[in-house]
Amino acid sequence: MAEETLIAHKTRAHLNNKQSSWMRDNCIASRLAYNFAIDKLRNSKKGEGEFPTAYSVSKQWTQERDERHPWMKAKGLNLDTVTSVFSTRYGPALNNWKRAGWSADKAPKFHGKGAKLTSTWRGRTIKQIRPNAYALPNKRGTFRVGEPLRFDGEVRSVTFSFEGGKWYASFLIKTALPKPCPAPEGTAIGVDLGIAKYATLSNGSHYAPLASSDADMAKLAKLQRQLSRMDGPIKGQRKASRNWLKQRAKVDKQYRRIANKRRDYAENLSKALAEGWQIVAIEDLKLANMTKSAKGDTENPGKNVKAKSGLNRSLLNGGFHQFRTRLEAKVGARNGQVIAVNPAYTSQTCAACGHVSPENRKTQADFVCVECGHANNADVNAAQNILHRALSSAEIA
């Protein structure tokens, strides 16, 4: 049975030089409009219900825009799109802050000059000319996309973003899609995430990390070293040289390459788990706590700082939060359930008898219970403990 839903399709947008410059100006104008709203927010009274709404800020922006930024009208920017930032960015940011209980550290922040260039347009303003070509408003000509849209339906919005020296267009489409088939009834699996093996399942299956991960990170480090040796821009003193900008583009491209590979891996693995099992048990990892620096301070210097730094880097490069987010979305779409359990002592607990001891973990890979003699791969044993905790919890719907 098909049901209407919103789905995004992101693809390359081939803009010419004039279009690229114009789109960049629209992105900068959107950032300035957003910062205008944050400035009004910072100067308002602190209390629930007293913060300026997206509508009130939009009215103030319209009144003050031409005096503050006359260049926007002079360059022929799409002013309606710039103004829409209050409803598409500021409004949601304010709502998220409200849900966080108005916590000071969760307050919306200014977007600096180095922020990602992005601009969201209403779907009706980007007219389709051919399956792979669209027209920009304000008589800015047409542009090609990397591939025709994979979904039929109404285009609700188009978000342009500049990443790694290239423009991308993300189309948000309202379409009717068949609901994914649910996973087999009554099936459950435990998943242990790690570094040596990206994921280990309670049935004994293993998923290795990306084969090219180390090589990609080594190439990134080399490009960064080359960039650090060049004369970069210094505010108020000199601008960036062409060679520095070219090298910076190479670094950005490599970052994008690594991110794309990580995202693709997370998408494929989460899809396989969602298709195969109705209940997926995972560790409730607190990555912020796990990746805290071990440097310490002058009075209490840290130990094994270099090793801890490398471990932190590996944990962050794994993209475990992204994997969990995609897993929860895909399992939920198939009427399944993801259960996150406390990971404490899962690697020291015997899945057969429940005995807990550090001595059970003979090596990084081997688990042998000193109480009952149960032997297994250490990661598989941990995944089985994760599954046992999930099934015995009262959280199962």
CB 274 within 8 A of CB 327: yes
Question: Quick one: DSSP state of residue 302?
Answer: -
Q: Which residues are catalytic?
A: 192, 283, 379
Name the nearest CA neighbour of 85 among 107, 108, 114. 108
- Beta-carbon contacts of 39 under 8 Å, excluding residues fewer than 6 positions away, are 110
Q: How far is Cα 142 from Cα 152, in angstroms, rounded to an integer?
A: 21
Give the phi and the psi of residue 128 in degrees, each rounded to 5. -85, 125
Q: Rounded to whole angstroms, what are the CA distances from 132 to 143, 154, 157, 169, 177?
A: 9, 16, 17, 12, 22
Q: Rounded to whole angstroms, what are the CA distances from 83 to 34, 136, 362?
A: 9, 17, 62
Q: How far is Cα 52 from Cα 31, in angstroms, rounded to an integer?
A: 18
- Beta-carbon contacts of 289 under 8 Å, excluding residues fewer than 6 positions away, are none
Cα Rg, the chain, nearest whole Å? 25
Q: How far is Cα 36 from Cα 283, in angstroms, rounded to an integer?
A: 41
